[in-house]
C-alpha cells in the first residue's frame, strides 16, 4: 500500500495505482487520474463512472459484457471512451478496485 497525492488529496493506492478507499474519491480526483491515463472526461464518461461506482460499491461484480448490457453504454463506445483496457481504466478513474475479471 502506498499514498499518492492526487488533486491535493492524499489517497491510498495499491501497486497498480487503484484507490484502496473509494470514500476518498471525488470528481476532481477522477479528472486527474483520467489525465494520467490520457483521457479527457466528458459527461458520458461520468455517466459510466457513476454506474460503475454504484454497482461496485453495492457489491456487484462487473465485466465488459455486463457493462455492454447495462443500457448505459455499448461495448464499442466503451472502448472508444476508455481506449485500450476500458474496464481497467474506467474502474481506476472511478476510484474503485480493479475487477477480478481484469488481469
- CA dist 97 and 53 (Å) reads 10
Residue 6, strand partner residues: 9
Of the chain, the end-to-end C-alpha distance in Å amounts to 19
pLDDT score of 30: 97
pTM of the model: 0.92
Q: Which pLDDT belongs to residue 56?
A: 92
**98 catalytic residue (yes or no):** no
> pLDDT digit string (tens) for 42-67?
999 999 999 999 999 999 988 899 99
d(CA 73, CA 75) in angstroms, rounded, equals 7
- The whole-number pLDDT of residue 98 equals 82
Answer whether 12's CB lies under 8 Å from 21's CB.
yes
Q: Pick the catalytic residue: 31, 64, 72, 102?
A: 102
Amino acid at each position: 500500500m502506498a499514498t499518492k497525492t492526487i488533486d491535493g488529496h492524499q489517497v491510498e493506492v495499491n501497486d497498480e495505482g487503484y484507490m484502496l478507499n473509494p470514500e476518498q474519491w471525488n470528481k476532481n480526483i477522477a479528472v486527474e487520474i483520467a489525465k494520467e491515463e490520457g483521457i479527457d472526461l466528458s459527461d458520458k464518461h461520468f455517466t459510466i463512472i457513476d454506474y460503475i461506482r454504484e454497482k461496485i460499491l453495492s457489491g456487484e461484480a462487473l465485466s465488459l459484457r455486463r457493462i455492454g448490457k447495462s443500457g448505459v453504454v455499448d461495448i464499442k463506445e466503451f472502448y472508444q471512451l476508455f481506449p485500450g483496457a476500458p474496464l481497467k481504466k474506467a474502474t481506476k478513474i472511478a476510484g474503485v478496485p480493479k475487477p477480478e475479471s481484469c488481469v
